[in-house]
Chains A and B, each alone.
Chain A
Amino acid sequence: MTTANDVLAALQSAFPGVIEEAKVGPERQLWATIKPDRIVDVCKYLRDNHSFDHYTGAVGVDKIDEGLFEVTEMLASHGAHQVVALLKVKTKRDGPSVKSLTGLFWNANWYEREIWEMLGINFEGHPELYPLLLPDELVGVWPWRKDFKGYPDYNTAERAIERLTAEGYTEYSIPPTEAEVKAGTVQKERPKYPTFREREEMEIKGESEMILHMGPQHAVVPGPFLLDILVDGERVKKAFLDVGYIHKGIEKILENRTYMQGIPITDRLCYMASLTNNEAYCGAVERLLGIEAPERAQYIRIILEELSRIQSHLLGTAEFLTLIASAVYSPFLYMIIDREDVLTCIESVTGARINHSFVRFGGVRNDLPDGFKDMTLDTLKMIREKTEEYKELFLSDSIYRKRMEGVGVLSPHDARRLGVSGPPLRASDTPYDMRREDPYLLYKDLDFDVITRKEGDSKARVEVRLDEIFESCYIIEQCLDQIPSGPIMAEGIPKKIKPEPGEAYYRVEDHRGEMGFFVVSDGSDKPVKVKARGPVYAYMQALPPLLEGVYIADVVAIAGSMDACTSEVDR
């Protein structure tokens, strides 16, 4: 089994002098600072020789005191080993530029674009540096920088453009970096996000082609994201996706709140997964603080998070079935009625049905109430019976199967390359589950199967969700049997939390996939940087290639089977 130390030793021998500083953290994490000009080589080496084939994301941090930006590239492996490599690259604050990893990892595209538009770090070799989450007008404002004073300075588009123009920016673009000037690779005009008309002119080739809007204002879209499809008759030739319509700036908000005040904000990442979002954030801060929740609290967290997984999978399946079964939403209504009972179980502990803010640093807020065990066991029994029934109803019906089988097939190779995680990845025959890969809480003591399917189509994704409901039921039953009595909060946690300076990365298995929180502390009571690495961001990026060549009706069958949550994409 490869350990973080092995990887570090291999790196040091293969790249002498390139690794500036390195440490092996707990939980199989390798933290290393790499010389900026060699980062691509190091990542290529890790990808090819140590099977770091899972590009998890990138974090940009503004170290204003040191006059530096830090970009941390996060690499992991799809099951070959459990090491997470967090490779840091430093660049100076004026004219920041980092080498792009898009050549190595397809899914680096969006993560780098986001850092570019938020921090203003140029990514050399990135094919399409144009705004993703921000509106075009706000590029150049660099909201994640610490010297950003807020929008009152330039709260209208005109003023932003005025300011940019005065500083020598052409509209919506940034000047070439010194490195680019030296290398002679200056692009005349950086690409900007094309308007609809421009896109029509660029893309439409034949008489029978047209571009069809599927959002942001569309009957099917659960949250607003733009999906334009170039269709030839009933066939989709190409899909264009744009997100950022409801960008809330949650990561920036978290920087301006104390650690404790941040917990309710993380609820709002995605209302379906508020408990796991709490868990990911609190877990990262717990790692910074070096504390661990008592056993009872960990069991309570597992119970509630698995209950939450059940309700999320029920609603996710229901929404998907609605998409192919039209506005006649019988499956939706059946499943949402069952979901209410699960929510009631959660509510009896947390006091809330949607936004729980329940997990605390080093514990949980409330203990389980009396009678919780009986109520939950009854509910689980009902859920099991109903889920069996739904499987029979919806997965054996010939029309449902016609609409799902062979639709949106992701081969295991493609699924890994596109960076999806959670049920869509497991439906593509890759048993990649954080509860097994990077066991958090007490999952390593619990018995459960990681559900996989071989087909990788829409039906497989729905089946994985429905089968995971059974596994979650089983996990909760074990927890209810094993849960010890004891305290629900760790001892000696101060009221005002001030972690030691440092960084921590903690990932959990969200209902939709791999959810990671990267928290940077400078010793004050507010985090310097919080990065939420959500699973749906990765799905969304992988959507356009999946939609090429399918029928218009399949667009909803594919997008729906991903169980996307726009709220989390536009954090």
Chain B
Amino acid sequence: MVLSAITEFAAQEPKIYGLVIGLIAAAILAAVINVVAMLLVWLERKVMGDFQSRYGPNRVGGRWGVLQLGADAIKLFTKEDIIPRGADKPVYVWAPIVAVATTMLVAGALPFGALIIDGREIPLVVANMDISAFYIEAALSIMAIGAFMAGWSSNNKYSMLGAFRGIARMIAYEVPMGICVISVAIMAHSLNVVEIVEAQSVWFAFAQPIGFVIFAIALITDLGRMPFDQTEAEEEIIAGYNTEYSGIRFGLLYFQEYIVFLLGSILLVHLYLGGWKGPVIPVISFISPMIWFFMKLVIVLVALIWIRVSLPRFRIDQVTDLGWKILLPLSMVNLVWAVVVGMYFA
């Protein structure tokens, strides 16, 4: 009854129907992403604790400290939101929002696994665009704008240095990263992430090992995680671009890093590790792709946390050196490789 009414409405007013459905999907997406990112913060703190011979959160919410993040979130929400006198107020206020919003743009085009219904794979994606890989790459690049706004508007020397470093690093790494995405697209004959996943009868991590390594390094740089967290190097520039932020605005900037961490890892899984593809598990074939997807995702996340606790930070000149002098030429080699192999298999 309700269903038929909706179908009728959809036929009559396709634009409004699309808008409403889009808004609902966006709301669900935002909620899911935020909850998962919160879990990710917890996972990182716990895993890091294990790596460093300590407990990690273990008081709030029982032995595993699961409620610690709730407590932290309440703290950040209730703290005073300080705006420095010398700050460029509109930019300062909007910077965290821009940062989170641009991050959410990535989420719109990323599939979050797939379900098998009636023997058909249904990818869980909000906007299944033909150029979604290109779109994601573009959205990842403009993410740096939020951080730069935050650093520039704070009117603080440390923040400004952090913001400059962020831009220098972004320029150095977006180019090899983009070339890697192009290589993947050439091999998959598509820029659509769903089709790229489906094209991976052999994981692209094996088909283009150089590309995989370059993409992983560039991705860690984009995420601003160790060993590439020069934008917020505590020992040098206090907290980098978010030095002056406090309260919920700081919370947004902090949380944005984890959302990007999650989305970046998902992108890596899709582009190089075969996304949700894997042998169908007989009894629970319905969610079998989801299981594969989550297993790969967790492995990537833990690997990135492992890298974070193990490696020291590069100096900013070493980072840009690595990007321009090593990764860029190598990504070109990878592109040639992808074209040759892609043509051979095509």
Our pick among B161, B165, B227, B233 for the contact of A399 (Cβ within 8 Å) is B227
B237 within 8 A of A: yes
B312 CB, nearest partner CB in chain A, Å: 4
Q: Is the CB of A219 within 8 A of B238?
A: yes
The answer to whether residues A403 and B308 also contact, given A212-B158, A555-B236 and a CB cut-off of 8 A, is no
B54, closest chain A residue (CB)? A333
- The one of B51, B158, B313 in contact with A325, judged by C-beta atoms closer than 8 angstroms, is B313
The minimal Cβ–Cβ distance linking B317 to chain A, given in whole angstroms, is 6
Name the B residues within 8 Å of A213 (CB-CB): 157
Q: Contacts A334-B53, A337-B53 known; A326 to B316 CB distance under 8 Å? A: no
Interface 0/1 of B132-160, CB less than 8 Å to A: 00000000000000000000000001100
**Which chain A residue has the least Cβ–Cβ distance from B312?**
A325
Q: Interface digits, A332-353 against B, CB 8 Å rule (1 contact, 0 not)?
A: 0110010000000000000000
Q: Is A7 an interface residue (CB 8 A)?
A: no
A553 touches which of B158, B164, B309, B315 (Cβ 8 Å): B315
Contact flags (1/0) for A312-342 with B, using CB distance below 8 Å?
0000000001111111111001100100000
Q: Are B229 and A326 in contact (CB under 8 A)?
A: yes
Contacts of B235 in A (CB 8 A): 219-220, 322-324, 326, 553, 556
- Asked if B318 is at the interface of the complex by the 8 Å CB criterion, the answer is yes
Main secondary structure of the interface of B (DSSP, over half): helix
Which of A213, A218, A234, A322 has its CB near the most chain B CB atoms (within 10 A)?
A234
Question: Which B280-303 residues have a C-beta within 8 angstroms of A?
Answer: none
B86 nearest CB across to chain A (Å): 14
User: Residue A443 at the B interface, CB < 8 A?
Assistant: no
Given contacts A328-B226, A552-B161, contact A403 B309 (CB under 8 A): no
Residue of A whose beta carbon sits closest to that of B322:
A402
Q: Is the CB of B238 within 8 A of A218?
A: yes
Taking the complex as formed, is A400 at the interface, i.e. its CB lies under 8 A from any CB of chain B? yes
B99 CB, min distance to chain A CBs, angstroms: 21
Residue A554 lies at the interface, judged by CB distance under 8 Å to chain B: yes
* 0/1 interface trace, chain B 311-329, chain A, CB 8 Å (1 if under): 1111111100000000000
Q: Which B residues, 27 to 74, have Cβ-Cβ distances below 8 Å to chain A?
A: 48, 51-54
Residue of B nearest to A552 (CB): B236
User: Counting CB contacts under 8 A, is A289 at the interface?
Assistant: no
Q: How far does the Cβ of A379 sit from chain B's closest Cβ, in whole Å?
A: 18
Q: Quick check: is B121 within 8 A (CB to CB) of the other chain?
A: no
* A553:B53 contact, CB within 8 angstroms: no
Q: State the CA gap A167–B315 with chains docked (Å).
A: 54
Task: Report the Cα distance A322→B226, complex, angstroms.
Answer: 13
Q: What residues make up the interface of B, taking CB atoms closer than 8 Å to A?
A: 48, 51-54, 157-158, 161, 164-165, 226-227, 229-230, 233-238, 308-318
A-B CB contact pairs (8 Å), 24 listed: A212-B158, A213-B157, A218-B238, A219-B238, A233-B164, A234-B165, A234-B316, A324-B313, A326-B229, A326-B313, A328-B48, A330-B52, A330-B309, A330-B310, A333-B52, A334-B52, A399-B227, A399-B311, A402-B318, A403-B313, A403-B315, A552-B161, A553-B315, A556-B236
Give me the interface of A with B, judged by CB distance under 8 Å.
Answer: 210, 212-213, 218-220, 233-234, 321-330, 333-334, 337, 397, 399-400, 402-403, 551-556
Extra pairs beyond A327-B234, A552-B161, A553-B315 (13, CB < 8 Å): A210-B157, A212-B161, A220-B235, A234-B317, A325-B312, A326-B229, A326-B234, A328-B48, A330-B310, A334-B52, A551-B315, A552-B237, A553-B313
